[in-house]
Amino acid sequence: MATSPLVQVQQSGSISIISLTSRCEMIEDALLEPLGRELLAAVQAAPSPLVVLDLSATRFFGSGFIELLLRVWKTLQLRPDARMAVCGLQEYCREVLQITHLDQLWPMTATAAEGVAAISEPAA
């Protein structure tokens, strides 16, 4: 029996919206390797280095997932004009990104549409 994917990708113009599926509600160590493979493959396949990462299905992640987010960001930065936003954060996940100051690296928005708007224009 095939397992369902951990990420789904939609396009909004040139921006890829990568959503973690409900299988990623609790991102624990056992999920990090397969999630990392799917997430990095989606980023590498994106038509442009503009990505909104939708974490609305995720209620918990630990430091291993933060490391994965940084790998995703470094992969995106290999391409010119890379921009990323994170949307749909549950309160706990938002607090973790704020404590680690990653909210200063990427815009954090309530919705994917707001994330798309946040990275549509280059920073001034």
Give me the number of domains the chain comprises: 1
> Would residue 63 count as lying in a domain?
yes
CA dihedral 49, 96, 28, 46 (to 10 degrees): -10
* CATH code where residue 67 lies: 3.30.750.24
Residue 68 sits at φ, ψ, to 5 deg, of -65, -40
- pLDDT tens-digit map of 54-112: 999 999 999 999 999 999 999 999 999 999 999 999 999 999 999 999 999 999 999 99
How far separated are the first and last CA of the chain, in Å rounded?
Answer: 49
83, β-bridge pairs: 50
**Residue 73's domain spans which residues?**
7-120
Asked whether the predicted pLDDT for residue 123 surpasses 80, the reply is: no
